[in-house]
Structure 1
Amino acid sequence: MDFRLTDDQRALRAGIRDLLAGRFDRDRMRAALDGAGGAGGELWRELGAAGLFALRLPETAGGVGLGLPESVLMFDEIGRVLLPGPLIATQLAAGAVKGAAEGQAVVALAEAGRPVGHLADADALLVLDRGGDGEAGDGGRARVLSGGVLRKLVREARPVRSLDPGTPLWRVPDLSAYDGDPLPDAARLRREGALLAAAEQLGSAARSTEAAVQHAREREQFGAPIGSFQAVKHLCAGMLVRAETARTAVYAAAVTADPVEIAGAKLLADEAAVGNARDCLQVHGGMGFTWEADVHLHLKRAWLRAGQWLTAADAEEALAADLV
């Protein structure tokens, strides 16, 4: 099995990186935070025009006709820049929600018992209920809430304080009381959502590594760059190992789409994103905790993503069950 990227995949990755660099640089990312991190808007429509949301829809349905590996490459780049919004849910529901494929509609994710992100911006809600065994990825059902049902839910929802300033959260009432349009194969949606979240974590882990190395080269103490100190070298080396180990697992799972490999990839990517952001904070010292630094933003987003689609506990259960 060949895991090397094709020329088309490299071009796709370069294209989304260039688009994000031109339309969502650091200044715009900070402006989005000041605006409460809302989803949608002009950039959302540009991403739709670029094919992000229709990437895996068949060409006969107006999509791009690509696969899960290409989605992983794009979400890897998205994770690097902390782009806000429920992009994964919108891509997964693009074939079921009018306007989602074109970037004209925002689809938020709702999981049983968890707050909903970007609810105020949502045109539809992808609801994933857990199965009777309680394991994410097994059983359960998927449905889409929209129209008057969604508006009623929004009126009853209450905002809650979010760990991540780029992801506003709402506590919603019991979703079992709301009927929606059913979607087939809820288990597949969960698995694919978990893998794309792992790809975002991967991008964040890589960006934290780059930020730590850059700071270690530029910051001087005792007349020398702090990167010349052994303790800092070890931190940066450990960050690189975490990120590349996770990259191998995520890319492999994108090719095989195996549920167990996806569980392992999500677990490794969560650990890489959180661990690398923490070590990046250590390299930056006290200034890493200030609002002006971006390091803490990656840590907070990584913490939030780790609890979405597939938690560490559920991933460990899936891996343990496979061993048995």
Structure 2
Amino acid sequence: MDFQPTEDQRDLRAGVRDLLAGRYGREALRASVDTGAAVDRGLWRELGEAGFFALRLPEADGGVGLGLPEAVLVFEEAGRALVPGPLVATHLAAGVVPGAAAGTTVVTAFDLGDGLVAYLGEAEAVLGASGMPAGSPVRSADPLTPLHRVTSYGDSSAYRSEGALLTAALQVGSALRTVELAVRYAGEREQFGQPIGAFQAVKHLCAQMLVRAEVARTAVYAAAVTAAVPAAVTAAVTAECAVGDAEIAAAKLLADEAAVGNARDCLQVHGGMGFTWEADVHLHLKRAWVRAQQWCTAAEAEELLAAELLGSAP
């Protein structure tokens, strides 16, 4: 079985990267941080027009008609660009919530524990709920992921498999981007008359980041290709994680570790510069922290994997 992207898939990924680079580059990202605009409605509609949310809808229903592997590639690019907003929930709502596929409706989900919902104030619908729950704002680690604590918590377990995998793809994109940021800074910053990238300790740190990101990317790609995940999973769920299969749980676990670990190491490479508000490194770290709690946490994934291993033991 060949897990390498096809030419069409590579073209799709390149097209999405170009779209986001032109529409949501660093200046737009920093403007969002400065203004606190967690969802850019214009960008949301443009993503809808480009087929981002309707990517896996059948063509007969107005969608693009592609599959989960293509969606993973697209979400990887969104994670690389740190595009804010409930991308996963709106994508999953395409064909279910009117306007989600076209990007005219913002949809969030019950994808966090502790009674928290992200982007509740920016959304018109919550996936798996009949109405909008009441909630009170809660301070978030990520300036572009506003949180609300809700009084009634709905059920989004039917979407957790796909939600976990697509969130893992976002994490992989962020992990790969922080590798790029670290390597670039290591080549530019000089100490003792030479770039800091010439020092063995920095070389090893960057190499470890690359290995971490590529292992996670391989796991996410493999899960996307091999997992037969229906649009709404109703039976193959667990009481705690509800991910649906061990491959997706493992992919999410590795992607979370890569995104958080790489952001930390990227900050280390940047030194004091990495701690400043002007640097983008802290944005990747904060977003990775939040995503690690969405759809399936590390503890939940580990429990599912342990149960899978014990169940297959002789």
The TM-score, its normalising length taken from structure 1, stands at 0.88
Q: 1:144, 1:63 → 2: CA distance? A: 23
- Equivalent residue runs for 1:179-198 within 5 Å: 186-187=157-158, 189-198=159-168
Residues 105-130 of structure 1, C-alpha deviations (whole Å, 9 max, x = no match): 0001224534211111101001xxxx
Q: 1:42, 1:71 → 2: CA distance? A: 21
The question of 1:79 aligning with 2:79 is answered yes
- Equivalent residue runs for 1:295-310 within 5 Å: 295-310=281-296
The question of 1:288 aligning with 2:274 is answered yes
Equivalent residue number for residue 217 of structure 2: 247
Could you tell me which of 171, 195, 208 is aligned with 2:149? 171
For the Cα contact (< 8 Å) 2:115–2:151, is it kept in 1?
A: no
Could you say what secondary structure the match of 1:192 adopts?
helix
Could you tell me which of 217, 231, 234 is aligned with 2:201? 231
Equivalent residue number for residue 248 of structure 2: 262
The question of 1:221 aligning with 2:185 is answered no
**Percent of aligned pairs with the same residue?**
67
Q: 1:123, 1:95 → 2: CA distance? A: 15
Q: 1:205, 1:170 → 2: CA distance? A: 27
Q: 1:7, 1:195 → 2: CA distance? A: 22
The question of 1:116 aligning with 2:117 is answered yes
Could you say what secondary structure the match of 2:45 adopts?
helix
Equivalent residue number for residue 140 of structure 2: 162
Unmatched segments (≥5 aa) in structure 2: 229-244
Q: Deviation at 1:40?
A: 4.3
Q: 2:37, 2:142 → 1: CA distance? A: 9
Deviating more after overlay: 60-69 vs 37-46: 37-46
Q: Deviation at 1:317?
A: 0.8
Q: 2:197, 2:40 → 1: CA distance? A: 40
Equivalent residue number for residue 35 of structure 1: 35
For the Cα contact (< 8 Å) 2:246–2:304, is it kept in 1?
A: yes
For the Cα contact (< 8 Å) 1:51–1:64, is it kept in 2?
A: yes
Q: 1:232, 1:6 → 2: CA distance? A: 34
- Equivalent residue runs for 1:39-78 within 5 Å: 39-78=39-78
Unmatched segments (≥5 aa) in structure 1: 127-142, 177-181
Could you say what secondary structure the match of 1:108 adopts?
strand
Q: 1:118, 1:40 → 2: CA distance? A: 12
The TM-score, its normalising length taken from structure 2, stands at 0.91
Could you tell me which of 181, 205, 209 is aligned with 1:211? 181
For the Cα contact (< 8 Å) 2:115–2:153, is it kept in 1?
A: no
Q: 1:67, 1:114 → 2: CA distance? A: 32
Q: 1:266, 1:303 → 2: CA distance? A: 13
4+ residue segments displaced more than 3 Å: none
For the Cα contact (< 8 Å) 1:40–1:121, is it kept in 2?
A: no
Q: 2:269, 2:15 → 1: CA distance? A: 31
Q: 1:262, 1:175 → 2: CA distance? A: 24
Deviating more after overlay: 28-37 vs 48-57: 28-37
Distance 1:236 1:157, change over 3 A: same
Q: 1:174, 1:115 → 2: CA distance? A: 10
Equivalent residue number for residue 10 of structure 1: 10
Equivalent position amino acid for 1:276 in 2 = N
Could you say what secondary structure the match of 1:144 adopts?
coil
Could you say what secondary structure the match of 2:110 adopts?
strand
Q: 2:25, 2:85 → 1: CA distance? A: 16
Q: 1:19, 1:66 → 2: CA distance? A: 19
Residues 27-50 of structure 1, C-alpha deviations (whole Å, 9 max, x = no match): 000111122132141110000000
Q: 1:35, 1:260 → 2: CA distance? A: 40
